[in-house]
Amino acid sequence: MSWLLLWAGIDWWERQPEPVFATEGIPVLAWYVLAVLVLAVLLCRRSTPPPPLGAGIVLATGLVPLPLLLVTFGAWLEPLWFWGAAVLVGLYALLYLSRGLHALTGRPQRIPAFLGVVFIGLFAVLSDMTNAIPDIWNPEDAAATVADENLEERETALFEQAARIDTALESVHRGASGPQAFFLGFAGVGDEKVFSQEIGLASRVIGARYDTAERQISLINDERDLADAPLASVSGLEYALQGLAEHMELDRDVLFLAISSHGSAAPAIAVANSQFPLTDLTPQDLVDALKEAGIQWRVIVISACYAGGFIEPLRDAHTIVITAAAADRTSFGCSADSDLTYFGEAFYRDALPDARSLREAFENAKTAIAAREHQEGETPSNPQAYFGFDVEAHLAGSAGALVAGPPTHRSTYLK
């Protein structure tokens, strides 16, 4: 009974701030009661001499709290730490069962104890595969807490997305001759202003540097404003790329795609805004969207944790990929109180305006970020880049047509 109360208490705590009691989770507890009984029978039957079944049940029940705590708090551990903790729990279980059975039988019982640990591991895997989790508390339905006017606003925003992108594309005008640069911004997460502000800065810096002022569009997730810019989503990105491609001379023009968001090691770019049903952006999503649009010359800058995982799927001679972090590293500065990420400050604000090339801007930004992280005692984010030979040559050869020239006052970027 005590471990059931412990489970209920932890489950209640995890579902804060307003947990709701869910009776449908109670029957699943029988799955775990069955596991305790099976473990007790296994330990008793494999031990020589066999202890009483009642004593075996007590022994098996006493082991429950530790695996329970591992499952509960393991979600907050990095994979390496989780597996390390699992090994320690397994060793503890082996020692616990060995000593417990020895106390009950008067003899060493290493093999039954080992079989018991194996059973616990198999049971954990099977429970995870079948999602047999006895949740008896659930968070309050978020949709029920949303004001009717907010729901109406969100439904309207979803319905208007294609029209918003079409309206934004109406302002895109290609120059009469020569290769041109186009800009597409993507701010993935709406509950932190830093991402929309970073894309705003990127559009101004790249606009001034590569003359994209009349050839740019941004998809912005920002919970502060759902009615202005087109929302950032995977389908919206696909639609916007196809729309830009219709304005481009695909064999000559260059797309600058700037992405700013949270990232995961999957790898994936987080896409979220006001509880809209949005999916994260994967490397394959981006590869497919660019291929479908037919855009050949690409400069892709991804400011997100683990963004280096996008480089390999995107790399080709016509593509430059610049990322704020390596595939196995986090980046910094994406908190709610930040105006720009570390990468946004170093690359867009400080390096790109005066650099002679994208490669030089990246190297300068990488050096500045490393120095800042070292000073603050952070694990290095290790920004990564891949420079396709053909697109570098194309940018260099088209410099006169693409480059508008560095601005006179850098402060104009911070407006």
Give per-residue pLDDT as tens, 109-131: 889 899 988 988 888 778 766 65
Can you give the pLDDT at residue 152? Answer: 57
Q: Which of 124, 139, 154 is the last residue of a domain?
A: 139
Q: Which of 99, 123, 139 is the last residue of a domain?
A: 139
If one counts every other C-beta atom within 10 angstroms of the C-beta of residue 361, the result is: 24
Flag whether 144 is in a domain. no
Cβ-contact 64, 3 below 8 angstroms = yes
Quickly list DSSP for 106-169.
SS--HHHHHHHHHHHHHHHHHHHHHT-----EEE--HHHHS-HHHHHHHHHHHHTHHHHHHHHH
- pLDDT band of residue 137 (cuts 50, 70, 90) is low
Q: Is residue 186 helix, strand or coil?
A: strand
Q: How many domains does the chain have?
A: 2
Poorest-confidence range of 50-64, 155-169, 229-243?
A: 155-169
| Sign of the alpha-carbon dihedral angle for 283, 287, 293, 295 | positive
Bridge-partner residues for 298, per DSSP? Answer: 255, 319
Which CATH number covers residue 405?
3.40.50.1460
What angle (nearest 5°) sits at the alpha carbon of residue 159, between those of residues 154 and 163? 125
Flag whether 150 is in a domain. no
**What six digits make up the tokens of 400?**
């006169």
Examine the domain organization and report whether 263 and 303 are in the same domain. yes
pLDDT average, residue stretch 247-275: 94
Strands 137-139 and 254-260: unpaired
Flag whether 227 is in a domain. yes
Q: How many angstroms from the chain centroid is the CA of residue 92?
A: 34
Flag whether 154 is in a domain. no
Examine the domain organization and report whether 266 and 391 are in the same domain. yes
Flag whether 145 is in a domain. no
Examine the domain organization and report whether 86 and 187 are in the same domain. no
What angle (nearest 5°) sits at the alpha carbon of residue 225, between those of residues 259 and 151? 110
Residue 224 has pLDDT above 70, yes or no: yes
Examine the domain organization and report whether 87 and 209 are in the same domain. no
Examine the domain organization and report whether 261 and 323 are in the same domain. yes
At 316-360, the pLDDT tens digits run 999 999 999 999 999 999 877 788 999 999 999 999 999 999 999
Cβ-contact 396, 259 below 8 angstroms = no
Residues, the chain: 415
Q: What is the mean pLDDT of the chain?
A: 84
Flag whether 8 is in a domain. yes
Domain of 45 in residue numbering reads as 2-139
The CA distance from 208 to 203, in Å, is: 8
Nearest to 327 by CA among 247, 386, 252: 386
Examine the domain organization and report whether 100 and 40 are in the same domain. yes
